Amino acid sequence: MTTMKSNLHPSTEMLEKFVSGDLSVGVNLAISAHVEMCDHCKSAIQQIELRTADQWTNAESSSPAVYQADTASMIDSIIATPQLKEPIEEESEVGSIHMLDRSVKLPKVLAKAASEGLVWKQLGAGISQADVKIDEEAHCSFLYMKPGSQTPVHKHQGTETTLVLDGSMTDELGEYGKSDFIFRTNNDTHQPRTEDGCLCFSVLDSPLTFTKGLARLLNPINKLRFQRAVGSRVS
Amino acid sequence: MTTLNATMDHMHMGNLASKAEPASKAASTSSRPLTQSDTDSDEKLLLDVGNHQSREAFNKLFERFSNKIFAHGMKITRNEQLSKDLVQEAMMTVWQKAPLYNSDRGNVQSWIFTLTRNRCFDMLRKQKRQPLCVSADDIWPAGMEDSESLVERDQGSLAVEFSNIERFLTQLPEAQQAVVEKVYLLNLTHEEAAADLEIPLGTLKSRLRLAMGKLRQLIGTSE
Ligand SMILES: [Zn+2]
């Protein structure tokens, strides 16, 4: 995958949480896919890894439970296992998504996430969605907007992470292109639209609320859909 | 494919240059404070584990890191048993992957930290019975330059140009020259060359790959 200049990146704080392993799986996927396309964040992450590891190594143990175990026998069993001389090579399947009018090559991590197959459903107004059931706490999906389409005005109750994978879109706050990473917190109301079509990966940690017109009728359905995607939890 | 590799080489060259390493050993200096003697640095210990399967060195690494790994487990999982399992899993990975450690990409601490984070992530997902189609190593891939093994593939074409190679060789960073000389002029195996230069096998392979990429570039542009 060719790397390219990207305008919108995850914040430093998010990259730090990404490195220390504190984020949900869905957001991890979005950041990882962005980093694969972004040299800037790639090198930022190397620096953060060094810093984080340094803090980790030098931290006084604050954990009340001190690690106790029969270390000698554990070490025995470990060094009885063979060492690796070569990294384990995985045959990388080519991960592309075929849309009506285009075929998009996905970042590796998203290709993996989609490897069990995507089922597209129409949300209306030229927008389709395919869920990725991978995170019990967030709703992850691929969203495809046909050229010339626009989503109903909506509001977020939680956070919405969007990674643009192909094409472009605009909303009240700006214009976004391939590899742009957009993070929105609650109470941002917006209405993305696209001229030339747009494929995104989206992570929501709570359902969208549509705020205008007939689309409001979708709200109860949308909540239901979210609950289904998230799993068996009942509100 | 070719453009991709060229970009990676270029990136990495930049890194090496900015580190201004004086000799081939410089890159294997760990970031531990100088108070720790060189023979007992994390780097030296990991080298002894990877190149010589040293039990004593592994014991010391275990002593140094097991509590920290346990603390990370407690922070993320809040479960004592899982955190103990994490110590075993992470230290097992340290043992098994020691030969693959690449000192040019980070230090021992960051290497052990990231593999701890990754094992912890996978353990927790397994425990929660979440789908496993994406693993920690997919989310946090090790150095991107490690994904291609170009060296073997390009040996032939380079051999043809051998008369010119020495001239090009001097244009490589010293650390890369040393690696190329051991492997191609002295015909040592990768393992022998790594032990000889006292660098991890993973570092050797990475430098070799970068050197061959650079040589290929130099040969290409000279014609
Ligand atoms: Zn970025």
User: The domain spanning residue A160 has which CATH number?
Assistant: 2.60.120.10
Query: Which residues in chain A have Cβ-Cβ distances shorter than 8 Å to B43?
Result: none
pLDDT computed for residue B149 by the predictor: 38
Ligand 1 geometric centre to CA of A10 (Å): 6
Name which of A7-16, A99-108, B131-140 the model is least confident about. Answer: A99-108
- What is the SS3 assignment for B4? helix
Domain count, chain A: 1
Answer whether B66 sits within 8 Å of A112, measured CB to CB: no
Q: Is B169 left (phi over 0), alpha (psi -120 to 50) or beta?
A: alpha
- A78-116: per-residue pLDDT in tens? 999 999 988 877 666 667 777 656 788 899 999 989 888
Round the average pLDDT of chain B to a whole number and report it.
Answer: 77
Reply yes or no on whether the pLDDT at B99 is more than 80. Answer: yes
Instruction: Report the amino acid identity of residue A62.
Output: S
User: Which residues are within 8 A (CB) of B145 and not within 5 positions of it... i.e. 6 or more apart?
Assistant: B8, B9, B12, B206, B209, B210
A235 in B contact zone (CB under 8 Å)? no
Count of Cβ atoms closer than 10 Å to residue B154 Cβ: 14
pLDDT computed for residue A235 by the predictor: 32
CATH of range B42-139; options 2.60.40.10, 3.10.290.10, 1.10.1740.10, 2.60.40.1930: 1.10.1740.10
Concatenating the DSSP letter of every residue in B147-214 gives G---HHHHHHHHHHTHHHHHHHHTTS-HHHHHHHIIIIIS---HHHHHHHHT--HHHHHHHHHHHHHH
ipTM entry = 0.81
Strand pairing category for A160-171 and A154-156: unpaired
pLDDT computed for residue A45 by the predictor: 94
Name which of A91-100, B139-148, B168-177, B183-192 the model is least confident about. Answer: B139-148
Give the DSSP letter of residue A202: E
Give the burial string for B132-148 (b: 16+ CB within 10 Å, else e): eebebbbbbebbbbbee
* pLDDT band with cut points at 50, 70 and 90 for residue B36: low
Name which of B22-36, B86-100, B208-222 the model is least confident about. Answer: B22-36
CATH of range B2-31+148-221; options 3.30.470.20, 3.40.50.720, 3.20.20.70, 1.10.10.10: 1.10.10.10
Answer whether A109 sits within 8 Å of B134, measured CB to CB: yes
Query: Which residues in chain A have Cβ-Cβ distances shorter than 8 Å to B83?
Result: 65, 67
pLDDT computed for residue A142 by the predictor: 93
pLDDT computed for residue A217 by the predictor: 55
With both helix axes pointing from N to C terminus, report the angle between B80-97 and B55-77 in degrees, rounded to the nearest 10: 140
Query: Which residues in chain B have Cβ-Cβ distances shorter than 8 Å to A78?
Result: 58, 88, 91-92, 95
Give the residue extent of every domain in chain B: 2-31+148-221, 42-139
Ligand 1 geometric centre to CA of A25 (Å): 18
In-domain check, residue A23: no
d(CA A141, CA A124): 16
Ligand 1 geometric centre to CA of A182 (Å): 11
Distance to chain B for A67, nearest Cα, Å: 6
**Per-residue tokens: A130:** 């395919």
- Among the listed residues B202, B206, B196, the one whose alpha carbon sits nearest the alpha carbon of residue A86: B202
* pLDDT band with cut points at 50, 70 and 90 for residue B33: very low
How big is the A-B interface in CB pairs under 8 Å?
A: 145
Highest mean pLDDT among A151-155, A171-175, B76-80: B76-80
Q: Residue range B112-132: average pLDDT?
A: 91
More confident call, B8 vs A43? A43
* pLDDT band with cut points at 50, 70 and 90 for residue B203: very high
In-domain check, residue A101: yes
In-domain check, residue A160: yes
More confident call, B18 vs B83? B83
Cα-Cα-Cα-Cα dihedral sign, residues A184, A188, A194, A200: positive
Instruction: Report the amino acid identity of residue A206.
Output: S
Task: Look up the pTM and report it.
Answer: 0.76
The angle formed by the CA atoms of residues B15, B20 and B24, to the nearest 5 degrees, is 95
d(CA B54, CA B188): 22
Residue A125 domain boundaries: 97-230
More confident call, A216 vs B203? B203
Q: Residue range A117-126: average pLDDT?
A: 85
- A40-58: per-residue pLDDT in tens? 999 999 999 999 999 999 9
The angle formed by the CA atoms of residues B220, B168 and B179, to the nearest 5 degrees, is 115
- Among the listed residues B109, B94, B107, the one whose alpha carbon sits nearest the alpha carbon of residue B49: B94
Cα-Cα-Cα-Cα dihedral sign, residues B34, B38, B39, B43: positive
A232 in B contact zone (CB under 8 Å)? no
The angle formed by the CA atoms of residues B34, B40 and B44, to the nearest 5 degrees, is 100
Query: Which residues in chain A have Cβ-Cβ distances shorter than 8 Å to B3?
Result: 2
pLDDT computed for residue B158 by the predictor: 47
Q: Could you give the percent of chain B with pLDDT greater than 90?
A: 51
Instruction: Find where tokens 């068996």 sit.
Output: A232
More confident call, B215 vs B100? B100
In-domain check, residue A179: yes
Q: Could you give the percent of chain A with pLDDT greater than 90?
A: 44
pLDDT computed for residue B51 by the predictor: 92
Specify which residues A198 forms β-bridges with.
A145, A167
More confident call, A59 vs A234? A59
Q: Residue range B186-201: average pLDDT?
A: 91
Answer whether A84 sits within 8 Å of B58, measured CB to CB: no
- A190-220: per-residue pLDDT in tens? 788 999 999 999 998 865 555 555 555 555 5
Specify which residues A98 forms β-bridges with.
A103
In-domain check, residue A47: no
Instruction: Find where tokens 């430098």 sit.
Output: B207
